Amino acid sequence: MKKAINWILLAAFVVFCLDWAALGVKLLSGSYDILVEVSIGAVCWVVIIVCILLRLFSNRCPHCGKPIDPAGNYCPHCGKKLN
Ligand SMILES: [Zn+2]
């Protein structure tokens, strides 16, 4: 589940970068028909924000449900091993 979120986040970020590169090229070449690029960029932003929120809320111990430090291997509340 967490890995899936990371991959979606990465994919959305890459698409966002490519989209803005395409938008920049279009603007530099004098074309202001950028509605598609702006729409894709907005969708990517929403996906990125949702993934970041999901990651924040998924940093919880699977045993006791309390928030945990994602860098640690053991829950500071119940002492059980994470993942
Ligand atoms: Zn715990």
Phi, psi of 74 (to 5 degrees): -125, 145
pLDDT of residue 69: 78
Nearest to 61 by CA among 71, 74, 43, 50: 74
Q: Which residues contact 16 (CB under 8 A, 6 or more apart)?
A: 41, 44, 45, 48
- Tell me: the pLDDT tens digits for 54-67? 888 778 888 898 88
Percent of the chain with pLDDT over 90: 58
- Residue 21: is its pLDDT beyond 80? yes
Q: Over 80: is that where the pLDDT of 70 sits?
A: no
Check whether 1 has a pLDDT greater than 80.
Answer: no
48 alpha carbon – ligand 1 mean position (Å): 28
Phi, psi angle pair for 67, to nearest 5°: -65, 140
The pLDDT of residue 18? 97
Q: Compute the C-alpha angle 58/48/32, nearest 5°.
A: 170
| Ligand 1 centroid to residue 3 C-alpha, Å | 20
Domain boundaries along the sequence of the chain? 1-83
- Which residues are close to ligand 1, an ion, with C-beta < 5 A? 61, 63-64, 75, 77-78
Q: What percent of the chain shows pLDDT beyond 70?
A: 96
Give the H/E segment covering residue 54: helix 35-58
The CA 53 to ligand 1 mean position distance, Å, reads 21
Q: For residue 23, how far is its CA from the centre of ligand 1 (angstroms)?
A: 46
